[in-house]
Structure 1
Amino acid sequence: MAERRDTSAPEGPDSSTAEAPERLDRFMARAARAYYAGREPFGAGGDFITAPEMTQAFGECLGLWAAIAWQGMGRPDPVLLVELGPGRGTLMADALRAIAEMAPGFRAALRVHLVETSPRLRQAQADRLGTAVAAWHDDIATLPAGPAIVLANEFLDALPIRQFVRRGGAWMERFVTEGHFEERPATDAPPLPAAAEEGAIQEVNEPARAVVGALAGRIAAQGGVALFLDYGPEKGGLGDSLQAMTRQGSADPLGEPGAADVTAHVDFAALASVASGAGTTVLGPLPQGVFLARLGLFTRAAMLARMDPAGAGRHLAAAQRLAAPEHMGRLFKALCLCHPGLPPLPGFEDP
């Protein structure tokens, strides 16, 4: 269901041996490395189909959204167009095609930079995008300075989480050992709610907060926007959202690392707070269905259906799947970080 990355948590002595108790975030990072090294997860033959793989309209809408954001930024030239976790390059290819047709000035000014750690996926992106890519990066820290427009579709949900469980008035942390949880006293836990009930679970995604905080600081200082599309509740809270998927359906998230795609819900409220504290304006989160409908997803899908009668049903069904509340439209959210000086951006207008 999502485009995943090798997003390792901080290494430590627990992470070197599979049989030893391993902090959950380190286990998740190791599972992600094994998963992406050993299989092709995307598309009809993989374990999940991402939004860009469902319909070209998704990437086209985001590309034109980026073009309008660039105009609001004062048309900087050059400007970075960055994607975090670009999968097979499908979203970027669709975005660039729409930009070239509808906003040639933006196409001439932009420089594509992809944040990707997997050599196999980098090759797939190179095969699809060719010389359109200026550079690949293991981390956002190596992106060139300057104004940037950042797109991240289903990136944050794959970043490894820590889980804390309330036991006897104190917080315990979850470790993984031989396919099950082991609880240990939390020694370096971040601030956690003191009034949680017995057995309550609090998830903390430190890498996601670090990525959002770094991007927010960069945008506040150098200009730009960052758009995240991912799944999770609008307001954070207690609960266990750890999950794993294969093409057969749900799987054991603590099973053999690499056998399934292990993810967790995004805490949008926590990330919005981090971004605000770093000096950016935060738009959203709002339901993905609302956001995409405002960008014209259904209009574009109808156009594609008329241009491709044989595939009309596929185009229209994909739009429904992305935007309908009973499918991805409500669980998935859109969150935008932008420089305080930018005018209102499409999709985030007041109703």
Structure 2
Amino acid sequence: MFDRLRADGPITLEAFMGACNDYYYATRDPLGSSGDFTTAPEISQMFGELIGAALVDVWRRAGAPASVRYVEIGPGRGTLAADALRVMHSAGLAPPVHLVETSPVLREAQLAAVPGATHHDSIGDLPGDAPLLVVANEFLDALPIRQHVAGIERHVELIGDGLAFDRDGEVVESSPARDEAVSALSEGLVALGGVALLIDYGHERSAPGDTLQAVRGHAFAPALDRPGEQDLTSHVDFERVAAVAREAGAFVTAPAEQGSWLERLGIQARARRLAQAAPGRAGEIEAARARLCRPDAMGSLFKVLAIHSPDWPRPAGL
């Protein structure tokens, strides 16, 4: 990155974020205690299990079509998919699995968790012959963003031996990459049928503000520090996501807080059953449930929004 800036001069934040994250995800498994962050599926099996149950329920209410595909976008280690599919299989639904992932490191982990899964480089590469049951957990936040200050796009420049932004002030963010992904997904659902659950951290209403952040070693870090060696993300603008999906002809639910949604899906009952089956893990199970649901943990910051085709029902809890 430093060589690029020395040769070419300042680059947009969008280009900087895209290049950094492409390298970051291609060269490591960033998850877990030895990585930089932990996602909900890695906290507890309950997360993926409840998603699997919600997908079975909406599939049944849609008439239980014989041909349907499970799709996950940005599936991490494949943990969520494995947990969701276990529940789906027990309910008599065993769809082919398609994973949108470009990282060779993560692809290997995903195939270990979900043998036989088919990988794709982009949403546009997904098959177009059956309804889709889609999950995207912490995918949209990692797509590159643009920032404008007073109507001028923000750039990253080299100052001495360090990086800095070329301007400061009130920031307005947008993400053409996020819009493109949501539009492609929504168009596919309208054409084929199906539903997508988008789970991410962000805000319900569009508003100005700088939400770019970096995480390294499970702690926040300066966003321009160590390019390509830390996770760069931004908060998802769910109002904008909904607008893009509607423009493509899809139906959209109002965003719900993750904690409230999981409670409505029955996470407390599931936690009790797990604790009864393994009394020695009762404290661990309750701590995981609280982390996923409490407002001061992941419960309020993370939102859930569903996009579905006009002829499919909305998923439970939304």
* TM-score, structure 1 as length reference: 0.85
Q: 1:292-344: per-residue Cα shift (whole Å, max 9, x none)?
A: 11111121122112212222111111111111111111111001001122234
Q: 1:121-156: per-residue Cα shift (whole Å, max 9, x none)?
A: 11111112112x1x1000011111121011000100
- Name the structure 2 match of 1:173: 153
Q: What runs of 5+ residues in structure 2 fail to find an aligned partner?
A: none
- Name the structure 1 match of 2:111: 126
Taking structure 1 as reference, are residues 97 and 26 closer, same or farther at Cα in structure 2, changes over 3 Å only? same
Which runs of at least 4 in structure 1 moved beyond 4 Å after TM superposition?
Answer: none
Q: What runs of 5+ residues in structure 1 fail to find an aligned partner?
A: 1-13, 184-197
Q: 1:166-200: per-residue Cα shift (whole Å, max 9, x none)?
A: 1xxxx1111111211114xxxxxxxxxxxxxx932
Superposition pairs for residues 117-196 of structure 1, below 5 Å?
Answer: 117-131=102-116, 133=117, 135-145=118-128, 146-166=130-150, 171-178=151-158, 179-183=163-167
SS at match of 1:245: strand
Q: 1:233-264: per-residue Cα shift (whole Å, max 9, x none)?
A: 11110000000011151111112212211100
1:228/1:334 contact within 8 Å kept: yes
1:38/1:258 contact within 8 Å kept: no
Q: CA deviation at 1:74?
A: 1.9
Count matched residues.
Answer: 311
Q: CA deviation at 1:43?
A: 1.1
SS at match of 1:326: coil
With a CA cutoff of 8 Å and minimum separation of 6, indicate the structure with the bigger relative contact order: 2
* 1:233 to 2:233 alignment: no
Superposition pairs for residues 311-322 of structure 1, below 5 Å?
Answer: 311-322=281-292
> Which one is further off, 14-23 or 110-119?
14-23
Among residues 256, 259, 284, which one is paired with 1:286 in the alignment?
Answer: 256
Q: CA deviation at 1:220?
A: 1.5
CA distance in 2, matches of 1:180, 1:15: 12
Q: CA deviation at 1:277?
A: 1.4
Among residues 252, 260, 265, which one is paired with 2:235 in the alignment?
Answer: 265
2:271/2:289 contact within 8 Å kept: yes
CA distance in 2, matches of 1:247, 1:49: 10
CA distance in 1, matches of 2:308, 2:218: 39
SS at match of 2:115: helix
Q: CA deviation at 1:55?
A: 0.3
Q: 1:20-42: per-residue Cα shift (whole Å, max 9, x none)?
A: 31111111111112222333211
CA distance in 2, matches of 1:247, 1:302: 32
Q: 1:195-244: per-residue Cα shift (whole Å, max 9, x none)?
A: xxx93211001111111111111211221111100001111100000000
Taking structure 1 as reference, are residues 250 and 60 closer, same or farther at Cα in structure 2, changes over 3 Å only? same
CA distance in 1, matches of 2:206, 2:305: 14
Taking structure 1 as reference, are residues 97 and 247 closer, same or farther at Cα in structure 2, changes over 3 Å only? same
- Name the structure 2 match of 1:65: 54
Taking structure 1 as reference, are residues 214 and 203 closer, same or farther at Cα in structure 2, changes over 3 Å only? same
